[in-house]
Structure 1
Amino acid sequence: MAEYKCLNCGKVIPSSELNLKAKCPHCSNKILVKVRPKVVKKVIAR
Structure 2
Amino acid sequence: MVEYRCVNCKKIITLDELGSKAKCPYCSSKILIKLRPKVVKLVKAR
TM-score band, normalised by the shorter chain?
Answer: 0.7 to 0.9
Percent of paired sites with the same residue: 65
Normalising by structure 2, we get a TM-score of 0.80
Q: Distance in 1 between the 2:41 and 2:17 partners?
A: 29
Which structure 2 residues correspond to residues 1-46 of structure 1 after superposition, within 5 A?
Answer: 1-46=1-46
Q: Alignment RMSD, CA only?
A: 1.2
| Structure 1 unaligned spans of 5+ | none
Normalising by structure 1, we get a TM-score of 0.80
| Structure 2 unaligned spans of 5+ | none
